[in-house]
Amino acid sequence: MAMFSVRSNGHRAGVIVCGVDGGASSREALRTARRLSDRLGLSLVVAHVVAPLPVRTEPWTPPGASTSTEDLAAGEELVSAQCRAAGIERAERRVLVGRPAERLAELADELEAELIVVGSRGQRHQAALVGSVSSELLGLAPCPVLVFPARALDFEELMEA
């Protein structure tokens, strides 16, 4: 059964965006996104965001955002490795540069995604002080966000024992 909605602009939407960062909850978020994609007949886009490095093109200009080819290659390898580990063969893969929450929200908006799936590192006390990607994404996203909490990993491991 394929599930699609029609957006106000008349285009069909059928995409799940999953942000990955290499953490354990990120891996589980990707597995969950794959299951949802399969069950709902939606395509899957797996994305990793690389932090920009401040680069000055001229001594008197403010720095712009750039990143090294090594960081981009490492991001591509991370996405590929996470997809392999989750048994994902057919998914669009993206490596973006910028702030993770902003870039994932922009990607979801660009693709008219039905859902964004991410993991949470489970640092609730730190998140209250500096914010976390998942918390920030909730305020920026153009669609629902499913956050796979780090505590759920402990519960799943307990259930499997």
How far is the C-alpha of 136 from the C-alpha of 100, rounded, in Å? 9
In a domain, 9, yes or no: no
Residue 48 in this model has a pLDDT that exceeds 60: yes
Note the pLDDT of residue 9. Answer: 44
Range of the domain at 97: 14-160
Number of domains in the chain: 1
Which pLDDT band holds residue 67 (cuts at 50, 70, 90)? Answer: low
How far is the C-alpha of 161 from the C-alpha of 159, rounded, in Å? 6
Residue 158 in this model has a pLDDT that exceeds 70: no
Tens of pLDDT, residues 115-140 = 999 998 754 444 443 348 889 999 99
CATH number at residue 143: 3.40.50.620
In a domain, 31, yes or no: yes
Mean pLDDT (whole number) for 22-49? 93
In a domain, 1, yes or no: no
Note the pLDDT of residue 123. Answer: 47
Note the pLDDT of residue 41. Answer: 93
Mean pLDDT (whole number) for 66-86? 88
In a domain, 57, yes or no: yes
In a domain, 71, yes or no: yes
